[in-house]
Every structure is written in structure tokens, then in C-alpha cells.
């Protein structure tokens, strides 16, 4: 497989940046950070992957991140954070992501200073600039380097590069933290996050789904977003009864399906209306 010239040039830019550096990669285990982790392990002087373990992500994401690091023999460190200790974050303002990213990267910066690494890399890509991403401000303020943005690399190009290097994550669906399932201004708490976690886990495992969201609205209302191609498979009378029973058991008072289906960042749509 050969890379198109424009993608090959962007790859060369990343490799050139990495050479001779001691690099920490903020590593979620998703396709973006996994490609950075792989490239850094091949071309940087030294690489350390740091993964945040938190109530905001499924436990299996940690397992998959650890598996990737082990399979490529890349040093990997897991740090635990409780974002709910931040009362401002719990209030769920529109800059929630800024607050969370600031806390995470301050922890990683402490490791960088302690271990005398040169730089910290974040896997945000050029497509992220097309949506509302307040976390970007935190990256700028804390001098976190974003190679994909610096060299104008989008999600599709990241997947092409991951395929070129035969990485196992090349087709892995995008994952956002569970707090993004709660509308701005509505409190984020452990009870809501656990409902979201268990609801999504149930749907994925029961119906073999790769991508979906369970949005948690006021009055314990669940708004489920499925890929359009999964509607027919999931929305049978028998399955609807099964889902309703499970979600009521989890503590949801109302269960709905969004007719527009899955779309990343759907909670940001309301911002354009204000």
C-alpha cells in the first residue's frame, strides 16, 4: 500500500518533529492517539503513554489501551482522576471540556517535569476545529502540542495512516466521554454517569452495536442515538420491550430514540440556536 503524496508529506512532518525528543503521548486508546503512540515509539528518542482512568470512560477503553501499549512494547502509565471533585465541572457549563482538559494535562505536565520529558502530544485532529471544542483552549494555554492540527491532518487521513501501518485500531469508532451525554447546564453526577455507562454497555453487547450514544436529559429521560443502519435491527417490538425494561431498571423514567440517529457532538446543536 502506498500513501498519497499529500499524506506522505504530513507523515514526514510528524516524524521530523518526533526525532530526538522524549515524548509523552496523552493516550486514550482511540485511533488518533494510538497512531501518535505508534509513531512516537518508532521515531522519538523515548516515549511514555499516559492514560487517564476515570468514571467518564468505559473500563474496557483502559483495557484496550493497555493491550495496544503492551502489543507494541511501549511504556504505559495509568493515572486516576476524579473530575467530579471539581464543582465547576459538575455544574456542566459550556466550557466543561476546558475544565476537564486542564485538570488532565496538569497531571500529565507533572509527570513530564518529574521524568524530564521534552513534550506532550495530544491527538486532536483538524476535523475537531469544525465543532465546538473548548478543550482546545486548555491545550494552547498549557503548551500541549497537537501534531494533527499543526500539520492539517484529518480523521480520514489518520485512519489511512493507521491502515498503512496495519494498526489494529484503524477502524475503531470514535469515543467521547460520558459527560458529553448530559446537556450543558444540567448537573453531572455519578448516578447519571453510571446510568449512561450501563445503558450503552447493554445496547452494545445485546445488539452487537459498534456506535451509539445514550443522552441523559432532565427528568431521567434517555435519548438513544443509533446509526441509521441499525434502526431496523434494534427497533423491533420485542427489542423495544427489552430496552425499556432494562433502562427502567437503570433508573430512567422515559426512554426515547432519536429519529436523526447517531451524530457526534449532538449536544452542541443547541449552542447554534442560542
Bin 104: left if φ > 0, else alpha if -120 < ψ < 50, else beta: alpha
Question: Do residues 145 and 50 lie in contact, with contact meaning Cβ atoms separated by under 8 Å?
Answer: no
Question: Do residues 212 and 224 lie in contact, with contact meaning Cβ atoms separated by under 8 Å?
Answer: yes
pLDDT computed for residue 131 by the predictor? 81
pLDDT computed for residue 268 by the predictor? 66
Separation of alpha carbons 154 and 116, rounded Å? 31
What domains can you pick out in the chain, each with its CATH number? 5-164 (3.40.50.620), 178-273 (3.30.300)
pLDDT computed for residue 27 by the predictor? 98
pLDDT computed for residue 273 by the predictor? 46
Helices (H), the chain: 5-18, 31-43, 59-71, 87-90, 96-115, 135-141, 147-150, 155-164, 190-207, 231-234, 237-250
pLDDT computed for residue 265 by the predictor? 62
Q: What pTM was estimated for this model as a whole?
A: 0.91
pLDDT computed for residue 270 by the predictor? 58
Q: And the C-alpha cell for 50?
A: 499516559
What SS3 class is residue 24?
Answer: strand
Q: Give me the residues paired with residue 215 across strands.
A: 223
Question: Do residues 23 and 121 lie in contact, with contact meaning Cβ atoms separated by under 8 Å?
Answer: yes
Per-residue pLDDT of the chain (274 residues; tens, 9 = 90+): 789 999 999 999 999 999 999 999 999 999 999 999 999 999 999 999 999 999 999 999 999 999 999 999 999 999 999 999 999 999 999 999 999 999 999 999 999 999 999 999 999 999 999 888 899 999 999 999 999 999 999 999 999 999 999 999 999 998 899 999 999 999 999 999 999 999 999 999 999 999 999 999 999 999 999 999 999 999 999 999 999 999 999 999 999 999 999 987 656 665 554 5
Amino acid at each position: 500500500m502506498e500513501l498519497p503524496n499529500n499524506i506522505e508529506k504530513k507523515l514526514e512532518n510528524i516524524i521530523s518533529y518526533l526525532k530526538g525528543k522524549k515524548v509523552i503521548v496523552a493516550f486514550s486508546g482511540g485511533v488518533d492517539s494510538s497512531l501518535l503512540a505508534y509513531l512516537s515509539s518508532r521515531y522519538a528518542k523515548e516515549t511514555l503513554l499516559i492514560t487517564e482512568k476515570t468514571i467518564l470512560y468505559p473500563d474496557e477503553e483502559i483495557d484496550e489501551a493497555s493491550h495496544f501499549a503492551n502489543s507494541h512494547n511501549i511504556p504505559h502509565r495509568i493515572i486516576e482522576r476524579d473530575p467530579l471533585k471539581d464543582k465547576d465541572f459538575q455544574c456542566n457549563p459550556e466550557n466543561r471540556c476546558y475544565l476537564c482538559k486542564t485538570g488532565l494535562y496538569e497531571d500529565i505536565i507533572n509527570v513530564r517535569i518529574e521524568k524530564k520529558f521534552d513534550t506532550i502530544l495530544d491527538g486532536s485532529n483538524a476535523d475537531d476545529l469544525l465543532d465546538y471544542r473548548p478543550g482546545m483552549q486548555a491545550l494552547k494555554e498549557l503548551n500541549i502540542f497537537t501534531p494533527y492540527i499543526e500539520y492539517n491532518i484529518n480523521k480520514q487521513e489518520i485512519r489511512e495512516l493507521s491502515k498503512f501501518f496495519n494498526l489494529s485500531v484503524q477502524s475503531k469508532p470514535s469515543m467521547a466521554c460520558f459527560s458529553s451525554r448530559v446537556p450543558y447546564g444540567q448537573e453531572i453526577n455519578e448516578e447519571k454517569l453510571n446510568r449512561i455507562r450501563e445503558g450503552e454497555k447493554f445496547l452494545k453487547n445485546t445488539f452487537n452495536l459498534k456506535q451509539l450514544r445514550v443522552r441523559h436529559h432532565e427528568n431521567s429521560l434517555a435519548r438513544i442515538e443509533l446509526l441509521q443502519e441499525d434502526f431496523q435491527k434494534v427497533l423491533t417490538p420485542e427489542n423495544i420491550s427489552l430496552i425499556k425494561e432494562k433502562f427502567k431498571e437503570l433508573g430512567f423514567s422515559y426512554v426515547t430514540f432519536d429519529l436523526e440517529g447517531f451524530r457526534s457532538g449532538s449536544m452542541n446543536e443547541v449552542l447554534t440556536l442560542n
